[in-house]
Structure 1
Amino acid sequence: MSGAPEGVHVERRGDALWVTIDRPERRNAYDLTMAQRMITAFESAVDVDAVVLTGAGGAFCAGGALDQLGEPDPAQLRELFTASWRLVDAIRSCPRPVIAAVDGAAAGGGNELVVACDFAIATQRSTFGQTGPRVGSAPVLGATQVMSVQIGEKRAKEMAMLCRRYSAEQALTMGLVNEVVADGELAEAVDRWLGEIHQLSPRYLEIAKVSSNLWWNAARADMHAGVTSLIQAIGSEDMREGANAFLEKRRPDFRGPRRDPNDTEPR
């Protein structure tokens, strides 16, 4: 069960705003309501030094909830895809630095949240990676554009297209995260970063952040086009197969005969 009805805790701790995704039973995959709550938190963070984005229960975030893809409602998925786009953009548009505090798996859209954040600190047990083509989707909200700037084009394509998993130390070497700390020491490390940020001018930090969004801003039109493509593909055979395979904990078969749920014979 979630610790918050909305699945997201938003609380002020000292001079920082903490946004905690709290749906551990599904590895903190977010639904529309959760995405909207996070968007509001990032957009309204004007009287704090920084925002910390983290996950509860041993995971960071698994992106959008895949249970909505197996039997998709086009209207609901359109809202979720659009909210996901608004969420990553809200992180980049937030007037304060955003720190991803990663303890556990950052997968799929969760990995793209790390890409969107200004800084990222991870525990040694954390893992990173995309899931798109493996689950009948594509990572169009940062992994196929901005992540190339962060870790290099070849490595970004490897992560986005092959859906491999990477350790925290590998993520550090690639440049996806800023620091890796021992398990159990994440809060202390985040406090250290927040203390450093507290010594700086909020006004000029915001100017520096806005200016550093050059590559993100250049990629925004491509991200929007990517979301539009995903919306047009809602209900495709590959989407259904990938999502259902994930939920059923089996390997997807994107090239085999498709089954009509009302039929007993392969088509």
Structure 2
Amino acid sequence: MTTWRNHDLVPELTFREIRYERRPCKGPNGEPVEGLYSAWIFLNNPKQLNSYTTQAVKEIILAFRKASNERDVVAVVFTGEGDQAFCTGGNTKEYAEYYAGRPEEYRQYMRLFNDMVTAILHCDKPVICRVNGMRIAGGQEIGMACDFSIASDLARFGQAGPRHGSAPDGGSTDFLPLFVGVEQAMLSCTLCEPWSAYKALRLGLITDVVPVLRVDGRFIPNPLV
């Protein structure tokens, strides 16, 4: 019997600010397929709308590396805890308390952020962004690094930084024009007005939209659309 080598950067890693799960893949009949799994990576900060801290960024990098290395994992689902947000970007509390006034420290943080985006782009398995609420600011940027995006029909998409005096420099100026064209990208990065899930789908930003509201056990479309 072949003994495979462990190529994880940090063996026996314990995650604190994200959650990593392996779930059996299911076939067309709804039954589990023996020996095949999907890796689910959850941003685990629902009280702060799944904003990511420095520690979470490091854990996301390692989680995507782990998913790439697991031989029986065939896909990755990247999502957030709860039903309010996939991710709303960097943790503003940490920004205010630590990074404000420390430009060299923030430069190091942005290097780490770029490494996170690279880890998603370079994942050996297809990555599905499961958008369960807001995908705003840095959350939009890491979401666009995924291969596919499936959104709740209650989800919202957009930028936030320029409205508060910062630039959308985590990937939006790279990714958005490719998805939606230069004009819509400039509009989003200037006005920071959120888009509905259906507008994001119409513009080509995401792959599909699914209903999440239930009435009498049946899914119904977002009644506000």
User: Equivalent residue of 1:100, what SS?
Assistant: strand
Change (3 A) 1:5 1:76: farther
User: Equivalent residue of 2:172, what SS?
Assistant: coil
- Aligned residue in 1 for 2:50: 28
- Aligned residue in 2 for 1:7: 17
- CA–CA separation in structure 1 for the residues paired with 2:51 and 2:105: 16
CA contact (8 A) 1:53 1:100 kept: yes
The two structures have a TM-score, normalised by structure 2, of 0.76
Please state if 1:37 is matched with 2:59.
yes
The two structures have a TM-score, normalised by structure 1, of 0.64
- Aligned residue in 2 for 1:100: 129
- CA–CA separation in structure 1 for the residues paired with 2:76 and 2:15: 21
Q: Which has the higher helix share?
A: 1
Please state if 1:68 is matched with 2:78.
no
Residue 50 of structure 1: which of 62, 75, 99 is its match? Answer: 75
TM-superposed CA distance for 1:171, in Å, is 0.5
CA contact (8 A) 1:17 1:50 kept: yes
Q: Which has the higher strand share?
A: 2
- Aligned residue in 1 for 2:160: 131
Name the amino acid aligned to 2:76. Answer: V
CA contact (8 A) 1:64 1:84 kept: no
Higher relative contact order (CA 8 A, sep 6+): 1
Q: What percent identity do the matched residue pairs reach?
A: 37
- CA–CA separation in structure 2 for the residues paired with 1:130 and 1:75: 24
1:238-267 CA-partner distances (Å, limit 9, x unpaired): xxxxxxxxxxxxxxxxxxxxxxxxxxxxxx
TM-superposed CA distance for 1:7, in Å, is 1.9
User: Equivalent residue of 1:69, what SS?
Assistant: helix
Quote the RMSD (CA, aligned, Å).
1.8
- CA–CA separation in structure 2 for the residues paired with 1:92 and 1:184: 32
Which runs of no fewer than 5 residues in structure 1 stay unpaired? 186-267
